[in-house]
Structure 1
Protein backbone atom coordinates (compact mmCIF):
# COMPACT_ATOMS: atom_id res chain seq x y z
CA UNK A 1 0.00 0.00 0.00
CA UNK A 2 1.15 3.43 -0.85
CA UNK A 3 1.78 5.90 1.95
CA UNK A 4 -0.61 8.79 1.40
CA UNK A 5 -0.02 11.90 3.49
CA UNK A 6 -2.81 14.35 3.85
CA UNK A 7 -1.86 17.97 4.20
CA UNK A 8 -3.49 19.47 7.25
CA UNK A 9 -2.23 23.05 6.79
CA UNK A 10 0.16 25.42 5.06
CA UNK A 11 3.89 24.98 4.93
CA UNK A 12 6.21 27.57 6.42
CA UNK A 13 7.31 28.71 2.96
CA UNK A 14 3.72 29.29 1.84
CA UNK A 15 3.08 31.41 4.95
CA UNK A 16 6.25 33.43 4.39
CA UNK A 17 5.31 34.14 0.77
CA UNK A 18 1.89 35.43 1.85
CA UNK A 19 3.46 37.66 4.53
CA UNK A 20 5.98 39.11 2.04
CA UNK A 21 3.25 39.84 -0.51
CA UNK A 22 1.09 41.53 2.14
CA UNK A 23 4.08 43.61 3.27
CA UNK A 24 4.91 44.76 -0.26
CA UNK A 25 1.28 45.74 -0.90
CA UNK A 26 1.08 47.65 2.42
CA UNK A 27 4.32 49.52 1.64
CA UNK A 28 3.08 50.44 -1.83
CA UNK A 29 -0.18 51.76 -0.36
CA UNK A 30 1.64 53.88 2.24
CA UNK A 31 3.93 55.35 -0.42
CA UNK A 32 1.01 56.09 -2.76
CA UNK A 33 -1.06 57.80 -0.06
CA UNK A 34 1.85 59.73 1.41
CA UNK A 35 3.14 61.05 -1.88
CA UNK A 36 -0.24 62.01 -3.35
CA UNK A 37 -0.52 65.08 -1.12
CA UNK A 38 3.06 66.06 -1.95
CA UNK A 39 2.33 65.57 -5.64
CA UNK A 40 -0.80 67.70 -5.29
CA UNK A 41 1.24 70.41 -3.57
CA UNK A 42 3.95 70.32 -6.25
CA UNK A 43 1.30 70.57 -8.99
CA UNK A 44 -0.35 73.57 -7.30
CA UNK A 45 3.02 75.30 -6.97
CA UNK A 46 4.03 74.60 -10.57
CA UNK A 47 0.65 75.70 -11.91
CA UNK A 48 0.69 78.98 -9.96
CA UNK A 49 4.24 79.79 -11.03
CA UNK A 50 3.49 79.02 -14.69
CA UNK A 51 0.29 81.07 -14.71
CA UNK A 52 1.90 84.10 -13.06
CA UNK A 53 4.75 83.87 -15.56
CA UNK A 54 2.22 83.71 -18.39
CA UNK A 55 0.29 86.67 -16.95
CA UNK A 56 3.47 88.74 -16.78
CA UNK A 57 4.31 87.87 -20.39
CA UNK A 58 0.80 88.89 -21.43
CA UNK A 59 1.10 92.18 -19.53
CA UNK A 60 4.29 92.98 -21.41
CA UNK A 61 2.89 91.93 -24.79
CA UNK A 62 -0.42 93.78 -24.45
CA UNK A 63 0.92 96.83 -22.62
CA UNK A 64 -1.68 96.43 -19.85
CA UNK A 65 -1.08 95.62 -16.20
CA UNK A 66 -2.34 92.25 -14.98
CA UNK A 67 -2.98 91.61 -11.30
CA UNK A 68 -3.30 88.48 -9.20
CA UNK A 69 -5.92 88.39 -6.45
CA UNK A 70 -5.21 85.66 -3.90
CA UNK A 71 -7.56 84.35 -1.26
CA UNK A 72 -7.52 81.35 1.04
CA UNK A 73 -9.67 79.43 -1.44
CA UNK A 74 -7.89 80.30 -4.70
CA UNK A 75 -6.63 83.00 -7.00
CA UNK A 76 -7.86 85.02 -9.96
CA UNK A 77 -6.29 87.26 -12.56
CA UNK A 78 -7.54 90.71 -13.50
CA UNK A 79 -6.42 93.44 -15.87
CA UNK A 80 -6.36 97.16 -15.35
CA UNK A 81 -8.90 98.92 -17.58
CA UNK A 82 -8.43 102.67 -17.16
CA UNK A 83 -8.64 102.89 -13.37
CA UNK A 84 -10.59 99.72 -12.58
CA UNK A 85 -9.49 96.09 -12.19
CA UNK A 86 -11.61 93.65 -14.22
CA UNK A 87 -11.36 89.88 -13.82
CA UNK A 88 -10.73 87.65 -16.80
CA UNK A 89 -13.75 85.53 -15.93
CA UNK A 90 -14.03 81.76 -16.02
CA UNK A 91 -12.69 81.11 -19.50
CA UNK A 92 -9.20 81.07 -20.92
CA UNK A 93 -5.78 80.50 -19.44
CA UNK A 94 -6.07 83.28 -16.86
CA UNK A 95 -9.40 82.11 -15.43
CA UNK A 96 -9.96 81.92 -11.68
CA UNK A 97 -8.48 78.83 -9.99
CA UNK A 98 -9.05 77.14 -6.65
CA UNK A 99 -6.38 75.79 -4.35
CA UNK A 100 -6.46 72.07 -3.46
CA UNK A 101 -8.48 71.30 -0.33
CA UNK A 102 -6.48 71.82 2.85
CA UNK A 103 -3.81 74.03 1.24
CA UNK A 104 -2.21 76.64 3.52
CA UNK A 105 -0.78 79.75 1.94
CA UNK A 106 1.32 82.59 3.30
CA UNK A 107 2.02 85.63 1.12
CA UNK A 108 4.73 88.11 2.03
CA UNK A 109 6.27 91.19 0.46
CA UNK A 110 9.59 92.46 1.86
CA UNK A 111 9.16 90.09 4.84
CA UNK A 112 5.76 91.60 5.68
CA UNK A 113 2.62 89.50 5.63
CA UNK A 114 0.21 90.45 2.87
CA UNK A 115 -3.48 90.05 3.70
CA UNK A 116 -5.40 87.62 1.54
CA UNK A 117 -8.44 88.83 -0.35
CA UNK A 118 -11.89 88.41 1.12
CA UNK A 119 -15.16 88.26 -0.86
CA UNK A 120 -15.97 91.67 -2.29
CA UNK A 121 -12.37 92.90 -2.06
CA UNK A 122 -10.73 92.18 -5.37
CA UNK A 123 -7.69 94.47 -5.40
CA UNK A 124 -4.70 92.44 -6.58
CA UNK A 125 -1.85 91.76 -4.16
CA UNK A 126 0.53 91.08 -7.05
CA UNK A 127 0.83 93.08 -10.24
CA UNK A 128 2.63 92.26 -13.48
CA UNK A 129 3.47 95.60 -15.05
CA UNK A 130 3.60 96.24 -18.79
CA UNK A 131 7.25 97.26 -18.34
CA UNK A 132 8.17 93.65 -17.48
CA UNK A 133 8.44 94.29 -13.73
CA UNK A 134 6.29 92.76 -11.04
CA UNK A 135 5.43 93.24 -7.40
CA UNK A 136 8.07 91.31 -5.46
CA UNK A 137 6.59 88.54 -3.33
CA UNK A 138 7.17 85.25 -1.58
CA UNK A 139 4.40 82.67 -1.49
CA UNK A 140 4.63 79.58 0.71
CA UNK A 141 2.32 76.66 0.04
CA UNK A 142 1.78 73.78 2.44
CA UNK A 143 -0.73 70.95 2.41
CA UNK A 144 -2.03 69.36 5.59
CA UNK A 145 0.66 68.42 8.07
CA UNK A 146 3.15 67.36 5.39
CA UNK A 147 6.81 68.07 6.10
CA UNK A 148 7.22 69.47 2.60
CA UNK A 149 6.34 73.02 1.52
CA UNK A 150 6.96 74.98 -1.63
CA UNK A 151 8.08 78.60 -1.82
CA UNK A 152 7.66 80.71 -4.94
CA UNK A 153 9.67 83.93 -5.07
CA UNK A 154 8.79 86.68 -7.50
CA UNK A 155 11.43 89.35 -8.04
CA UNK A 156 10.79 92.93 -9.12
CA UNK A 157 12.48 92.21 -12.46
CA UNK A 158 9.72 89.68 -13.26
CA UNK A 159 11.67 86.48 -12.57
CA UNK A 160 10.01 83.63 -10.69
CA UNK A 161 11.74 80.84 -8.78
CA UNK A 162 10.27 77.88 -6.97
CA UNK A 163 11.93 76.00 -4.14
CA UNK A 164 10.99 72.81 -2.30
CA UNK A 165 11.39 73.11 1.47
CA UNK A 166 11.55 70.11 3.78
CA UNK A 167 10.99 70.52 7.50
CA UNK A 168 13.33 68.55 9.71
CA UNK A 169 11.24 66.22 11.81
Structure 2
Protein backbone atom coordinates (compact mmCIF):
# COMPACT_ATOMS: atom_id res chain seq x y z
CA UNK A 1 0.00 0.00 0.00
CA UNK A 2 1.12 3.55 -0.71
CA UNK A 3 1.82 5.75 2.28
CA UNK A 4 0.25 9.18 2.48
CA UNK A 5 2.64 12.08 2.96
CA UNK A 6 1.93 14.45 5.84
CA UNK A 7 1.94 18.23 5.63
CA UNK A 8 4.44 19.98 5.13
CA UNK A 9 5.99 17.31 2.86
CA UNK A 10 7.56 18.99 -0.23
CA UNK A 11 5.48 16.80 -2.60
CA UNK A 12 2.39 18.66 -1.39
CA UNK A 13 3.85 21.94 -2.68
CA UNK A 14 4.94 20.57 -6.07
CA UNK A 15 3.17 20.91 -9.40
CA UNK A 16 2.44 17.48 -10.85
CA UNK A 17 3.40 16.40 -14.37
CA UNK A 18 0.94 15.43 -17.08
CA UNK A 19 0.42 11.72 -17.54
CA UNK A 20 1.46 10.64 -21.05
CA UNK A 21 1.45 6.85 -20.74
CA UNK A 22 -1.87 5.10 -20.21
CA UNK A 23 -1.02 1.54 -19.27
CA UNK A 24 -1.37 -1.15 -16.59
CA UNK A 25 0.98 0.79 -14.29
CA UNK A 26 -1.37 3.78 -14.35
CA UNK A 27 -4.35 1.55 -13.50
CA UNK A 28 -2.35 -0.01 -10.65
CA UNK A 29 -1.46 3.47 -9.37
CA UNK A 30 -5.14 4.46 -9.34
CA UNK A 31 -6.05 1.24 -7.49
CA UNK A 32 -3.29 1.84 -4.94
CA UNK A 33 -4.38 5.46 -4.47
CA UNK A 34 -7.96 4.31 -3.89
CA UNK A 35 -6.78 1.79 -1.29
CA UNK A 36 -4.70 4.43 0.54
CA UNK A 37 -7.59 6.92 0.43
CA UNK A 38 -10.07 4.37 1.77
CA UNK A 39 -7.72 3.41 4.61
CA UNK A 40 -7.08 7.07 5.55
CA UNK A 41 -10.20 7.46 5.39
CA UNK A 42 -10.98 10.06 2.76
CA UNK A 43 -13.17 10.77 -0.28
CA UNK A 44 -10.48 12.14 -2.61
CA UNK A 45 -6.77 11.72 -3.19
CA UNK A 46 -4.09 12.70 -5.69
CA UNK A 47 -0.89 10.90 -6.56
CA UNK A 48 0.95 13.84 -4.95
CA UNK A 49 -0.53 12.91 -1.58
CA UNK A 50 1.62 9.77 -1.85
CA UNK A 51 4.69 11.55 -3.22
CA UNK A 52 4.07 10.64 -6.87
CA UNK A 53 4.07 13.83 -8.92
CA UNK A 54 1.63 12.82 -11.66
CA UNK A 55 -1.75 14.38 -12.44
CA UNK A 56 -3.97 11.56 -11.15
CA UNK A 57 -7.07 12.04 -8.97
CA UNK A 58 -9.32 9.41 -7.43
CA UNK A 59 -12.68 10.44 -5.95
CA UNK A 60 -15.15 8.12 -4.28
CA UNK A 61 -18.46 9.92 -3.82
CA UNK A 62 -22.08 8.74 -3.85
CA UNK A 63 -22.84 11.82 -6.00
CA UNK A 64 -20.61 10.34 -8.72
CA UNK A 65 -21.89 6.79 -8.32
CA UNK A 66 -18.81 5.69 -6.36
CA UNK A 67 -15.19 5.61 -7.43
CA UNK A 68 -14.09 7.78 -10.34
CA UNK A 69 -10.57 8.15 -11.72
CA UNK A 70 -9.41 11.36 -13.41
CA UNK A 71 -6.14 11.73 -15.29
CA UNK A 72 -4.83 15.21 -16.16
CA UNK A 73 -8.00 17.01 -14.99
CA UNK A 74 -8.29 20.66 -15.99
CA UNK A 75 -10.74 23.26 -14.79
CA UNK A 76 -12.38 24.83 -17.85
CA UNK A 77 -15.08 26.98 -16.25
CA UNK A 78 -16.49 27.79 -12.83
CA UNK A 79 -19.74 29.42 -11.74
CA UNK A 80 -19.88 32.75 -9.97
CA UNK A 81 -22.25 31.10 -7.50
CA UNK A 82 -20.23 29.74 -4.57
CA UNK A 83 -20.86 27.52 -1.60
CA UNK A 84 -19.04 27.01 1.66
CA UNK A 85 -17.96 23.59 2.79
CA UNK A 86 -15.71 22.13 5.45
CA UNK A 87 -12.51 20.84 3.86
CA UNK A 88 -9.61 18.80 5.13
CA UNK A 89 -6.93 16.52 3.70
CA UNK A 90 -5.70 12.97 4.02
CA UNK A 91 -2.27 14.63 4.43
CA UNK A 92 -3.45 16.60 7.47
CA UNK A 93 -5.84 14.28 9.32
CA UNK A 94 -8.09 15.84 11.93
CA UNK A 95 -7.70 19.38 10.59
CA UNK A 96 -10.68 21.04 8.88
CA UNK A 97 -11.84 24.52 8.02
CA UNK A 98 -14.61 26.13 5.96
CA UNK A 99 -13.71 27.26 2.44
CA UNK A 100 -15.91 28.90 -0.23
CA UNK A 101 -15.56 27.58 -3.78
CA UNK A 102 -17.60 27.76 -7.00
CA UNK A 103 -20.69 25.56 -6.80
CA UNK A 104 -20.51 24.36 -10.44
CA UNK A 105 -17.47 23.58 -12.58
CA UNK A 106 -16.69 22.16 -16.00
CA UNK A 107 -13.61 20.00 -16.38
CA UNK A 108 -11.69 18.17 -19.07
CA UNK A 109 -9.78 15.00 -18.20
CA UNK A 110 -8.70 11.61 -19.48
CA UNK A 111 -9.76 8.18 -18.31
CA UNK A 112 -7.23 5.57 -17.22
CA UNK A 113 -7.18 4.25 -20.79
CA UNK A 114 -6.58 7.72 -22.26
CA UNK A 115 -10.09 8.59 -23.47
CA UNK A 116 -10.79 12.36 -23.45
CA UNK A 117 -13.82 13.37 -21.40
CA UNK A 118 -15.67 16.50 -20.34
CA UNK A 119 -17.78 16.67 -17.22
CA UNK A 120 -19.88 19.14 -15.26
CA UNK A 121 -19.66 18.76 -11.49
CA UNK A 122 -21.74 20.54 -8.90
CA UNK A 123 -21.96 21.04 -5.17
CA UNK A 124 -19.82 18.63 -3.09
CA UNK A 125 -18.35 16.85 -6.14
CA UNK A 126 -17.29 20.23 -7.61
CA UNK A 127 -15.68 21.25 -4.32
CA UNK A 128 -13.78 17.96 -4.08
CA UNK A 129 -12.47 18.21 -7.64
CA UNK A 130 -11.35 21.83 -7.18
CA UNK A 131 -9.57 20.80 -3.98
CA UNK A 132 -7.74 17.97 -5.81
CA UNK A 133 -6.85 20.09 -8.86
CA UNK A 134 -5.36 22.66 -6.47
CA UNK A 135 -3.25 19.84 -5.00
CA UNK A 136 -2.06 18.79 -8.47
CA UNK A 137 -0.94 22.40 -8.98
CA UNK A 138 1.00 22.39 -5.69
CA UNK A 139 -1.57 24.48 -3.81
CA UNK A 140 -2.32 22.79 -0.49
CA UNK A 141 -5.87 23.47 0.67
CA UNK A 142 -4.88 25.59 3.69
CA UNK A 143 -3.58 28.26 1.32
CA UNK A 144 -7.21 28.99 0.39
CA UNK A 145 -7.75 30.16 3.99
CA UNK A 146 -7.24 33.66 5.34
CA UNK A 147 -3.83 34.17 6.91
CA UNK A 148 -5.36 34.23 10.40
CA UNK A 149 -7.31 30.98 9.92
CA UNK A 150 -4.28 29.28 8.32
CA UNK A 151 -1.95 30.30 11.17
CA UNK A 152 -4.46 29.11 13.78
CA UNK A 153 -4.87 25.77 11.99
CA UNK A 154 -1.10 25.30 11.62
CA UNK A 155 -0.58 25.90 15.36
CA UNK A 156 -3.20 23.25 16.07
CA UNK A 157 -1.52 20.87 13.58
CA UNK A 158 1.93 21.41 15.12
CA UNK A 159 0.53 20.83 18.61
CA UNK A 160 -1.14 17.60 17.47
CA UNK A 161 2.11 16.41 15.85
CA UNK A 162 4.05 16.74 19.14
TM-score with structure 1 length normalisation?
Answer: 0.21
Instruction: Answer 1 or 2: which has greater helix percent.
Output: 2
TM-score with structure 2 length normalisation?
Answer: 0.21
More contact order relative to length (CA 8 Å, sep ≥ 6): 2
For the pair shown, which has the larger CA radius of gyration, 1 or 2?
1
